[in-house]
Amino acid sequence: MKLNWICPICESDKWVNIRKKMWREQLFLNKKLITCGRCKCSSMYPLPTSEELNKINKNYWKIFPNPSKLFSKIRKEQTISRINYIKKFTDLSIIKRILDIGSGSGIFFDQIKEEILDNIEYYAIESDQSMVNILSLKGIKNVFLNVDDIQDYDFNLIIMSHILEHFSNPKEYLKKIYNLIKKGNLLFIEVPNREDLYLDSLGAHIIVFNTSSLYSLLINLGFHIINIATVGYQVSKLMSKKSFLNEI
């Protein structure tokens, strides 16, 4: 089968698997999920257009709303665990400026205020207008719609938590992020690990990462990796829905 397909991570044209019906979102119903034969990363095919992505990103939290108060509590606990993880590699008390990409309602900001001195400058990138309004109500003034709006800033810490998988060209986006971080400063990235193995729908995710593909992507762009790890449930548990739901 001949496809006009190139892996958005390693640019190989060799694929090993094609899957259908991986998305329920109307704009993505007829897309396929192709796994690269070289880096084993999977990606949507054809890749979504900028117009398709903008339609979703501007109304993301209406299309994919938080299902319950319990979910909000879980997100808070997850944010605490992320901050604790970052603390292993840096002293957050000396951080002057943070950029939170895809900040949503600012949960990371809320937790930062609880745990760290208020003298940290918090910047956010958020395209969903309803979330921008919430950030404004929290007194967050430095909110940008996209990374291209940011110029001449030196961020000590950039957060990308469950964001990179939403880009059709994560390599180009990370190149821009690279220019916002000076040597010695930190980038925290968190992405789902092979979620196509256990989810019925990939939501608005364009790329399905694994550890090796994320590692090679960052190294090839010139990043120095301090640590890379997986957390959470094993895939075998997630694939057994009955077992997973009982444990939750």
**Per-residue pLDDT band at 189 (split at 50, 70, 90):** very high
Pairing verdict, β 32-36 and 15-19: antiparallel
Average pLDDT over residues 123-129: 95
Report residue 128 as tokens: 């969903």
> What pLDDT shows up at residue 68?
74
pTM of the full structure:
0.92
Q: If one looks up domain 57-247 in CATH, what number appears?
A: 3.40.50.150
In the prediction, which pLDDT does 248 show?
Answer: 54
pLDDT for 195 beyond 60? yes
The pLDDT of residue 188 is 97
Please check the confidence at residue 17 and state whether its pLDDT lies above 90. Answer: yes
Among residues 241, 213, 208, which one has the least CA distance to residue 22?
208
What is the pLDDT at residue 80?
92
**The pLDDT value given to residue 67:** 65
Tens of pLDDT, residues 209-224:
999 999 999 999 999 9
Beta strand spans in 15-132 (E)? 15-19, 32-36, 42-45, 97-101, 121-125
Average pLDDT of the segment spanning 235-246: 68
Query: Would you list the domain boundaries of the chain?
Result: 57-247
Q: What angle do CA 30, 130, 132 make, to 5 degrees?
A: 115
pLDDT computed for residue 176 by the predictor: 94
